[in-house]
Amino acid sequence: MAPSAASGEKTYRVRALWRTLQGEGFWAGRPAVFVRLVACNMWSGYEADRARDAERNGADCPLWCDTAFTKEGSVRLTASDLADAVVATGDGVTFCVLTGGEPLLQADAALIRALHARGVTVAVETNGTLSLAGAFGDEADWPDWIVCSPKLAAARLEIETCDELKLVVPDYRPEAYRPLAQRVRERSLAGPLLWLQPEDGPRFEAAARLAVDLALADPRWRVSVQGHKALGVD
């Protein structure tokens, strides 16, 4: 990606953009273009800040997050240039996932409109701490598909609704997010999409067993498996 020329137009700092398969949730297996936007409001992204940010934000994700979303190696692109890059990278793939970090720190209505103008369906993966109306304004300019994976207690979330609610177990449990689960849009599907995703890493085996037990105890919830890792794709 070549950076956009200076023009006074808003730019988005993009750490990575790649074509792959969506590995999780309802759209698992669907070809997608992922756009990783720089910055997160839970962790700076730097090793030295893990403990500090976990304590400061009251979240444990800074202690285990392994995603590279810092500004190093990123480029700045206008909405038009970024949308063009998504289309070029997709090479026929018209499903785009905005991720981070926390994508709602940067994504806005102008970016959604630019992608829609090119026939791209837009999904976003957010931690739920920011308002959709605050980020995108009118609901007509919201992403087409919204996935919320909370990293804070339900009372501290600002997101109004979502299409999928994904809890990373064992640290996040269904009983703690019942109010948010009730606001998940059903989208004419067989009930709301409520996911339990086992935490990756050394606790995976125990987390997977717990996720299965929780889903069997409350069948409204489903277990999400990271299919892209099983298939060996990024």
148 pairs with which residues across the strands? 126, 165
Q: Report whether 202 belongs to an annotated binding site.
A: no
Q: Report whether 151 belongs to an annotated binding site.
A: yes
Question: CB burial class (10 A; 0-12, 13-18, 19+) of residue 187?
Answer: exposed
Q: Report whether 61 belongs to an annotated binding site.
A: yes
Residue reference for tokens 């050394």: 202
Q: Report whether 40 belongs to an annotated binding site.
A: yes
Q: Report whether 219 belongs to an annotated binding site.
A: no
Q: Report whether 7 belongs to an annotated binding site.
A: no
Query: Can you give the C-alpha Rg of the chain in angstroms?
Result: 17
- SS3 of 18-38: the string is EEEECCCCCCCCCEEEEEEEC
Q: Report whether 226 belongs to an annotated binding site.
A: no
Q: Report whether 224 belongs to an annotated binding site.
A: no
Sign of CA dihedral 172, 174, 177, 181: positive
Q: Report whether 84 belongs to an annotated binding site.
A: no
Q: Report whether 21 belongs to an annotated binding site.
A: yes
Q: Report whether 23 belongs to an annotated binding site.
A: yes
Q: Report whether 99 belongs to an annotated binding site.
A: yes
Phi then psi for 2, rounded to 5 degrees?
A: -90, 135
Q: Report whether 64 belongs to an annotated binding site.
A: yes
Q: Which residues are annotated as a binding site?
A: 21-23, 36, 40, 61, 64-67, 99, 101, 149-151, 197-200
Numbered residues of the known binding site for Mg(2+)? 67
Which residues fall in the annotated binding site for S-adenosyl-L-methionine? 64-66, 101, 149-151, 197-200
* Binding residue ranges for [4Fe-4S] cluster: 40, 61, 65
Known binding-site residue numbers for substrate: 21-23, 36, 99
